[in-house]
Amino acid sequence: MKIEIAREKFLSNFEVQQALVEIQKQNRWNFASKARVYKFDTNSRNSHLANLERITMDVSSYLDKSFAKNAQVDRFVKLINFLNGFELVKVEKLQMVNLLPRSLVSVYSIIEECDTRFTEDECESMLNKIEELFPAKQETVPDQDGDLSMSKN
């Protein structure tokens, strides 16, 4: 094995998710049941691809939790086009797209020296754009983890 180019391109989480869905479709793997009781059929003809099955399942289950259900290609394109208006480094844009920050403090943690490079209004406008394209629906359903920490405090 020879590594020709270690890092040819970056991929956003969304692109990876789409590729994995395609692989799962081709192999007719169905992880629709979210319960993690999925059993690997060792007798099936594809059992030699168990490693691929495992990783696609785990990665897509992780990615599923990271963005809204209404995520679509054109929305990501719009967001990137909007972010292109700022002087952001490629990896910063990529993290914005992957993490979809919802608060100023998250934006500050993604963008290096954010306070000197951008004004607060500019950061706010980024947040507004994210909220506009990917409305956070999850907040209506409080997740268990959040509840736990609340009760302990």
Considering only residues 11 through 70, tell me which ones interact with other proteins, judged by CB under 8 A.
11-13, 15-16, 19-20, 23, 48-49, 51-52, 54-56, 58-59, 61-62, 66
From the list 67, 76, 88, 94, which residue makes contact with other proteins (rule: CB under 8 A)?
94
Exposure letters 96-105 (e unless 16+ CB within 10 A, then b) = bbbbbbeeee
Reference 110, options 86, 133, 132; nearest CA is: 86
User: Does 81 engage in binding with other proteins (CB under 8 A)?
Assistant: no
Q: How many residues bind other proteins (CB under 8 A)?
A: 51
Residue with tokens 């509840």: 147
Identity (one letter) of the amino acid at 125?
S
- The Cα–Cα gap between 80 and 56 comes to 26
| Cα–Cα distance for residue pair 49/45, rounded to 1 Å | 9
Joined together, the tokens standing for residue 79 give 């967001």
Q: Which stretch binds other proteins (CB under 8 A): 68-76, 77-85, 121-129, 140-148?
A: 140-148
Does 128 bind other proteins (CB under 8 A)? Our answer is no
Binding site for other proteins (CB under 8 A): 1-13, 15-16, 19-20, 23, 48-49, 51-52, 54-56, 58-59, 61-62, 66, 91, 94-95, 98-99, 102-103, 105-106, 108-110, 112, 139, 143, 145-146, 148-149, 152-153
